[in-house]
């Protein structure tokens, strides 16, 4: 891309920006006595009625230590996932554009004090060639990832987004581009919004201020806790009503971070009438030149509780689980309420065209654990009776933000989401799937068609599936 040395975004905060995290209050909530079965069941019942939980109610779930109650929570999370989202899983791929970085986050291989990492910013044509490879695998949704650097200003990010949308390969096209980059100011968010981005993600990393200060050295831009906490409020003010929050698990007590995420979701909901579109909960992974204490490491059982608790606390918010996690664990945790996963992931700069089979840690931000191809993941999903979905209809029809809550509208999933998941899955099967995946996919589609009770909807879907296969039609969404 054209590399410029532009000014940094202004440090102006959103109107009435506040630090809505009160660490003493969150700690007090976690120190209350362990709840009894009746209290836990009352909170679970509220979630199952599809009501978002308060921070206090979420803390009740987090204080439970009784294995039987934890099992009840897991069951409820699975049920809620089925009731609210059905059996669709949305797929995407990350695309790292540049790893120059002026920050020094202690957990990240891209931090500025790491001399060994290979630094690179993809040229425009390199971005396009990465995109073509992703399209030829069948991807339709990307997230572009950037370090924090003056070169990666809003105009640069917007130019990358436009380049991605313009790159086509046969039937291949990217229909939604999300962003994970440094916080911008009002003007910057307006620039990237105008380029047609989907979600803008900024992870707080840790909601615990002393830990935040410890991992983000003073003097770096990211060391300003409030500026980052306010990042997505500024995005909302600038008209981006589709934002993603996240915490990096393993830096501090996982229970505290869950309360931080739920507080953040409520803050956005209260101020803007719309909560975050997604929540991410990455666990810290090994990274080149990174070593730090494992005091707050989150084990698999605790990680399952993170996901189940978030599912129950924010029934209508998408949950993203990435290839940082092992394939077998991803498979198990999908049922707890995850709505989006990445697949076929390479996070080395230029990795989709240049990477060998093994990962090259010197060229990536951290190590990932699930390096299966998109096709393998699609096959496993179909065999496990999930419908892999590349649907982007709502965002392209302007069905986002406060005016629209797809999951809250009765019957929406049956009428729109499942049909659109099936047609995008059929596109994948026809254009990109291996013979085994095609077979598993066709079985799944036949079974799903049988489940559609509304005959008009069923006919409409059958007609679209036929047009994809026989007439070579594409992008037929409801
Ligand atoms: N540089 C921007 C920033 O920090 O906001 C963009 C995001 S960074 C490239 C993407 C995310 O990766 C970070 O927000 C952090 O949560 C996560 N990350 C960094 N180091 C990690 C590690 N060692 N293991 C797992 N996730 C990590
Ligand atoms: Fe830079 Fe982001 Fe890595 Fe921090 S997490 S060093 S800001 S790339």
d(CA 419, CA 71): 33
**Do 251 and 105 share a structural domain?**
yes
DSSP string, 226-260: HHHHTHHHHHHHTT---EEEEB-BTSS-HHHHHHH
Burial 4-27, CB ≥16 within 10 A → b, else e: eeeeebeeebbeebeebbebeebe
Mean residue pLDDT across the chain: 93
**Do 195 and 254 share a structural domain?**
yes
Select, from the ranges 10-14, 140-144, 351-355, the one with the highest average predicted confidence (pLDDT): 140-144
Q: Which two tokens stand for residue 92?
A: 């995407």
Q: What is the per-residue pLDDT for 407?
A: 61
Mean pLDDT of 10-33: 96
**What does the pLDDT look like over 117-145, one tens digit per residue?**
899 999 999 999 999 999 999 999 999 99
**What does the pLDDT look like over 301-344, one tens digit per residue?**
999 999 999 999 999 899 999 999 999 999 999 999 899 999 99
Best probe residue, ligand 1, of 359, 365, 366, 368 (max atoms within 8 Å of C-beta): 365
Ligand 2: nearest atom to the Cα of 216? 4
**Do 360 and 220 share a structural domain?**
yes
**Do 357 and 213 share a structural domain?**
yes
Range with lowest mean pLDDT among 52-61, 149-158, 289-298, 443-452:
289-298
Are the C-beta atoms of 58 and 262 separated by less than 8 Å? Answer: yes
d(CA 182, CA 153): 9
Tally of domains in the chain: 2
Q: 188 C-alpha to center of ligand 1: Å?
A: 21
**Do 413 and 287 share a structural domain?**
no
Would you say the CB of residue 92 lies under 6 angstroms from ligand 2? Answer: no
- 178-377-344-462 Cα dihedral, nearest 10 degrees: -60
**Do 437 and 320 share a structural domain?**
no
Are the C-beta atoms of 103 and 149 separated by less than 8 Å? Answer: no
Ligand 2: nearest atom to the Cα of 146? 8
- 415's CB contacts (< 8 A; 6+ apart) are 454, 457, 478
Rounded to the nearest angstrom, the gap between the alpha carbon of residue 476 and the centroid of all alpha carbons in its chain is 25
Residue 313 in domain: yes
- 104's CB contacts (< 8 A; 6+ apart) are 111, 112, 113, 216, 217, 220
**In this structure, is the dihedral angle defined by the CA atoms of residues 469, 472, 475 and 477, taken in order, positive or negative?**
negative
Last residue of a domain, one of 329, 352, 372: 372
Would you say the CB of residue 288 lies under 6 angstroms from ligand 2? Answer: no
- 124-169-244-49 Cα dihedral, nearest 10 degrees: 180
Ligand 2: nearest atom to the Cα of 205? 5
Residue 44 in domain: no
Q: Three-state DSSP class for 320?
A: strand
Is 60 exceeded by the pLDDT of residue 23?
Answer: yes
Residue 163 in domain: yes
More confident residue, 152 or 294: 152
**Do 280 and 426 share a structural domain?**
no
Would you say the CB of residue 222 lies under 6 angstroms from ligand 2? Answer: yes
Q: What is the per-residue pLDDT for 83?
A: 86
More confident residue, 478 or 313: 313
Residue 475 in domain: no
Q: 330 C-alpha to center of ligand 1: Å?
A: 19
Last residue of a domain, one of 353, 372, 391: 372
Residue 116 in domain: yes
d(CA 10, CA 189): 12
Residue 220 in domain: yes
Would you say the CB of residue 148 lies under 6 angstroms from ligand 2? Answer: yes
Residue 110 in domain: yes
Q: What is the per-residue pLDDT for 19?
A: 97
CATH code, domain with 87: 3.20.20.70
d(CA 123, CA 3): 9
d(CA 350, CA 348): 6
**Do 193 and 120 share a structural domain?**
yes
Residue 341 in domain: yes
Q: What is the per-residue pLDDT for 85?
A: 83
Rounded to the nearest angstrom, the gap between the alpha carbon of residue 391 and the centroid of all alpha carbons in its chain is 15
Q: What are phi and psi of 469, to 5 degrees?
A: -75, -45
pTM score: 0.95
Are the C-beta atoms of 357 and 113 separated by less than 8 Å? Answer: no
Nearest CA to ligand 1 atom 17: 248
Burial 85-95, CB ≥16 within 10 A → b, else e: bbbbbbbbbbb
**Do 114 and 177 share a structural domain?**
yes
Is 50 exceeded by the pLDDT of residue 3?
Answer: no
First CA to last CA across the chain, in angstroms?
Answer: 36
Ligand 1: nearest atom to the Cα of 99? 9
**Do 446 and 324 share a structural domain?**
no
Strand 172-173 vs strand 168-169: parallel, antiparallel, or unpaired?
Answer: antiparallel
**What does the pLDDT look like over 261-297, one tens digit per residue?**
999 999 999 999 999 999 999 999 989 888 878 899 9
**Do 341 and 458 share a structural domain?**
no
d(CA 144, CA 365): 14
d(CA 94, CA 18): 32
Last residue of a domain, one of 327, 347, 372: 372
Q: Using alpha carbons, select from 71, 106, 292, 335 the residue that is nearest to residue 213.
A: 106
Q: What is the per-residue pLDDT for 313?
A: 98
Is 70 exceeded by the pLDDT of residue 180?
Answer: yes
H or E element: which one contains 334?
A: helix 327-334
**What does the pLDDT look like over 82-118, one tens digit per residue?**
888 889 999 999 999 999 999 999 999 999 999 988 9
d(CA 463, CA 25): 56
CA distances from 260 to 25, 45, 47, 281, 310 (A): 11, 23, 19, 12, 11
Q: What is the per-residue pLDDT for 5?
A: 45
Q: Domain span at residue 120?
A: 82-372
**Do 310 and 426 share a structural domain?**
no
Q: 274 C-alpha to center of ligand 1: Å?
A: 25
H or E element: which one contains 91?
A: strand 88-98
């Amino acid at each position: 891309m054209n590399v410029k040395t532009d000014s940094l975004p202004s440090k102006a905060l959103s109107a009435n920006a506040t630090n809505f995290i009160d660490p003493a209050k969150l700690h007090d909530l976690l120190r209350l006595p362990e709840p009894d079965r009746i209290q836990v069941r009352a909170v679970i019942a509220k979630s199952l009625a599809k009501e978002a939980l308060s921070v206090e109610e979420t803390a009740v779930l987090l204080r439970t230590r009784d294995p039987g109650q934890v099992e009840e929570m897991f069951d409820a999370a699975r049920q809620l996932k089925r009731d609210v989202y059905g059996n669709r899983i949305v797929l995407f791929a990350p695309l790292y554009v540049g790893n120059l970085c002026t920050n020094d986050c202690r957990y990240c291989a891209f931090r500025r004090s790491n001399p060994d990492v290979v630094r690179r910013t993809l040229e425009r044509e390199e971005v396009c060639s990465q995109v073509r490879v992703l399209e030829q695998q069948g991807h339709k949704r990307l997230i572009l990832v950037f370090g924090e650097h003056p070169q990666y200003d809003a105009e640069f990010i917007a130019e990358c987004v436009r380049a991605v949308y313009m790159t086509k390969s046969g039937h291949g096209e990217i229909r939604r581009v999300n962003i994970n980059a440094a916080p911008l100011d009002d003007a910057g968010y307006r620039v990237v919004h105008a380029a047609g981005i989907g979600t803008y993600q900024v992870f707080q990393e840790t909601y615990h201020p002393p830990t935040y200060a410890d991992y983000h050295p003073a003097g770096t831009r990211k060391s300003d806790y409030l500026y980052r906490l306010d990042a997505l409020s500024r995005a909302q003010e600038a008209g981006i009503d589709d934002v993603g929050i996240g915490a990096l698990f393993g830096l501090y007590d996982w229970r505290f971070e869950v309360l931080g995420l739920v507080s953040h979701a409520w803050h956005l909901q209260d101020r803007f009438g719309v909560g975050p579109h997604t929540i991410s909960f990455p666990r810290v992974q090994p990274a080149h030149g990174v070593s730090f204490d494992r005091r707050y490491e989150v084990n698999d059982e605790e990680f399952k509780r993170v996901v189940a608790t978030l599912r129950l606390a924010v029934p209508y918010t998408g949950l993203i689980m990435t290839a940082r996690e092992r394939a077998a664990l991803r498979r198990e945790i999908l049922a707890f309420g995850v709505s989006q996963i990445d697949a076929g992931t390479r996070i080395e700069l230029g990795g989709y065209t240049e990477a060998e089979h093994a990962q090259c840690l010197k060229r990536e931000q951290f190590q990932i654990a699930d390096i299966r191809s998109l096709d393998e993941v699609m096959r496993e999903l179909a065999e496990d009776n999930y419908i892999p979905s590349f649907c982007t209809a709502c965002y392209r029809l302007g069905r986002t933000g406060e005016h629209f809550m797809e999951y809250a509208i009765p019957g929406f999933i049956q009428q729109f989401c499942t049909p659109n998941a099936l047609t995008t899955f059929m596109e994948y099967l026809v254009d990109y799937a291996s013979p085994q995946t095609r077979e598993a996919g066709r079985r799944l589609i036949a079974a799903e068609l049988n489940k559609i009770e509304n005959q008009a909807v069923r006919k409409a879907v059958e007609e679209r599936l036929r047009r994809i296969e026989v007439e070579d039609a594409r992008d037929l969404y409801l």
